[in-house]
Amino acid sequence: MNLTVTPGAALRGATRLPGDKSISHRAALLAALAEGESQIDNFLISGVTRAILGALSSLGVGWELDGTRLTVQSQGWRGWRPPAAPIDCGNSATTLRLLAGALAAAGMPAILDGAPGLRARPMMRIIEPLQQMGVAITGDKGRAPLRLSRFTHPLRPLDYTLPVASAQVKSCLLLAALAAHGRTTLREPAPSRDHSERLLRSLGIDITTEQHTQNHLASPQYLTHLNPPCPLSLPPLRLKVPGDFSAAAFIIVAALITPGSQVTLSNVGLNPTRTGLLDALSAMGARIHLSATGEQNGEPIGDLSVEASSLRGVCIEGSLVVRMIDEFPAFAVAAAYAQGETVVRQAEELRYKESDRIAALCAELRALGVDVEEAQDGFSIRGGVIPRGGLVRSHGDHRLAMALAIAGLASQQPITVKDAEVIDESFPAFGETLRNLGGWLSLEE
Ligand code: S3P
């Protein structure tokens, strides 16, 4: 599918966003570990969450979708059945990495596999620490498919420093630690998203987080006292998933760069470990007004109103990179429309996402006439010249596809994104949302 965006229309009005992808994943998985019926409202229905739901089915866990309400019926860990075939995690690294931790805690033999894109993602980051805990897990040269064989419980508790800040790795290990005999301590170089900790805590699991400052980077220490040390079934969940800030990011940047725009987004998740983009954009001069409306199941939520703004270049590095790790495609488009130079450093992790986001972003922005320079750990963009427009590729990356599409709202000529169906992975209503706000979009085979 080709998605074409034609410049010239301002975005105006109010919109809501689909449920947060990270929280939807965690909620579905934790509901499968709970004994009884869990109910999750505003669940994200998209390619990546279909992967986790498919995985639950193959483990014998029952679920039902009614609109965006997900109901999960489970008997907890004891009700899980060994899957008859390899579990297909699609293109979802969150499904694969979190499920590996849960399967380890359940002591369940399984093979975890996925699409070619997922098979290319690094998995030693979970294999090594899980092996240290006593989990019998192997990969194929450090990548999927991953094989979990039978091993003896309880697992060994872990005292581990993650080499890179990663919420997927942290969450995988926290889930495995539910079956460890003793206290697990995980340290990260910088704070990554903490949805798993918040959800587990809300279910009565004893997790404490300590803040430390090392080398001017905030470095939290997760002290996990799990009591009792063997996997106990969790209580059922009742949860409403906040709107996805990472989906909001595309609408925010779209409104900022499109002259005459004024957009309001309601019920957006505003967990501070996720909202680094707001800090980056306000340093660029963005006119974004935030009103915090409260908390939903331990997650802060609020409304955002965004006006078209003149932006200026900025430098992004350190822990801010982690707090906006999924937002660089949208951010790079803001930088292309900003006056002056934007520099992104210490962001090499972007090379290990759904695409090599440094290489892919630089190549496609260059194709649009943007002055961009690639570095091993980031990129620089000299903005202020309106992008030309033309044909660009999604590289099989939903966020790249959406970022390139919004660039077309204010470019000289229309922008066509090839293989744009990948957007369904995380934000199936992306086109409809922009169209309802007044954007000119067309989709063709
Ligand atoms: C996610 C964590 C991040 C992020 C991904 C979702 C999660 O990955 O990029 O889209 O839900 O835990 P890493 O943990 O690999 O940084």
pTM, to two decimals = 0.95
For residue 110, pLDDT beyond 70: yes
Average pLDDT in the 223-252 region?
Answer: 79
88 Cα to the center of ligand 1, angstroms: 19
Query: CA–CA separation, 134 vs 152, rounded Å?
Result: 8
Average pLDDT in the 111-140 region?
Answer: 97
* pLDDT score recorded for residue 212: 37
325 lines ligand 1 (CB under 6 A): yes
73-82, 135-144, 201-210, 435-444: segment of lowest average pLDDT: 201-210
* pLDDT score recorded for residue 225: 42
Share of the chain above pLDDT 70, in %: 95
Sheet order of strands, 137-140 included: 87-88, 110-113, 143-148, 137-140
88 is catalytic: no
Helix (H, G, I), strand (E, B), or coil: what is residue 69?
strand
Q: Give, using CA atoms, the residue closest to atom 16 of ligand 1.
A: 166
167 lines ligand 1 (CB under 6 A): yes
The answer to whether the Cα torsion of 277, 278, 284, 288 is positive or negative is positive
Mutational test site, ligand 1, from 118, 166, 197, 198, max ligand atoms within 8 Å of CB:
166
End-to-end C-alpha distance for the chain, whole angstroms:
4
Which atom belonging to ligand 1 lies closest to the Cα atom of 325? 9
5 lines ligand 1 (CB under 6 A): no
User: Are the CB atoms for 274 and 323 separated by under 8 Å?
Assistant: yes
99 Cα to the center of ligand 1, angstroms: 14
Q: Give, using CA atoms, the residue closest to atom 13 of ligand 1.
A: 166
Per-residue model confidence as pLDDT tens digits over 7-47: 999 999 999 999 999 999 999 999 999 999 999 999 999 99
DSSP string of 344-387? Answer: E-S-GGGGGSSS-HHHHHHHHHHHTT-EEEEETTEEEEEE-SPP
Six token digits for residue 390: 């033309």
411 lines ligand 1 (CB under 6 A): no
Query: CA–CA separation, 23 vs 6, rounded Å?
Result: 33
20 lines ligand 1 (CB under 6 A): no
State yes or no: cis peptide before 242, omega within 30 of 0. no
Better-predicted residue by pLDDT, 261 or 233: 261
* pLDDT score recorded for residue 231: 63
Q: How far is CA 74 from the centre of its chain?
A: 26
DSSP 46: S
Alpha carbon of 339 to those of 25, 383, 408, 434: distances in Å? 38, 5, 18, 25
426 lines ligand 1 (CB under 6 A): no
190 lines ligand 1 (CB under 6 A): no
Per-residue model confidence as pLDDT tens digits over 267-314: 999 999 999 999 999 999 999 999 988 998 899 999 999 999 999 999
385 Cα to the center of ligand 1, angstroms: 32
Query: CA–CA separation, 222 vs 157, rounded Å?
Result: 13
Helix (H, G, I), strand (E, B), or coil: what is residue 106?
helix
Task: Name beta bridge partners: 243.
Answer: 19, 268
Query: CA–CA separation, 224 vs 205, rounded Å?
Result: 9
User: Are the CB atoms for 49 and 21 separated by under 8 Å?
Assistant: yes
Query: CA–CA separation, 313 vs 67, rounded Å?
Result: 42
Average pLDDT, the chain: 93
Mutational test site, ligand 1, from 20, 21, 22, 95, max ligand atoms within 8 Å of CB:
22
User: Are the CB atoms for 301 and 275 separated by under 8 Å?
Assistant: no
Number of other CB atoms surrounding residue 213 within 10 Å: 8
Of 88, 113, 194, 326, the catalytic one is: 326
Mutational test site, ligand 1, from 99, 325, 355, 397, max ligand atoms within 8 Å of CB:
325
For residue 254, pLDDT beyond 60: yes
Per-residue model confidence as pLDDT tens digits over 375-401: 999 999 999 899 999 999 999 999 999
According to DSSP, the β-strands at 184-187 and 315-316 are: unpaired
* pLDDT score recorded for residue 234: 86
46 lines ligand 1 (CB under 6 A): no
Which residue's entry shows tokens 């925010």?
252
271 lines ligand 1 (CB under 6 A): no
* pLDDT score recorded for residue 226: 42
Mutational test site, ligand 1, from 44, 166, 168, 171, max ligand atoms within 8 Å of CB:
168
190 Cα to the center of ligand 1, angstroms: 14
DSSP 155: B
Query: CA–CA separation, 206 vs 199, rounded Å?
Result: 11
Listed residue (107, 108, 95) closest to 54, CA to CA: 95
Average pLDDT in the 176-192 region?
Answer: 86
324 lines ligand 1 (CB under 6 A): no
Quote the Cα angle for 8-277-335, to 5°: 50
160-164, 257-261, 407-411: segment of lowest average pLDDT: 160-164
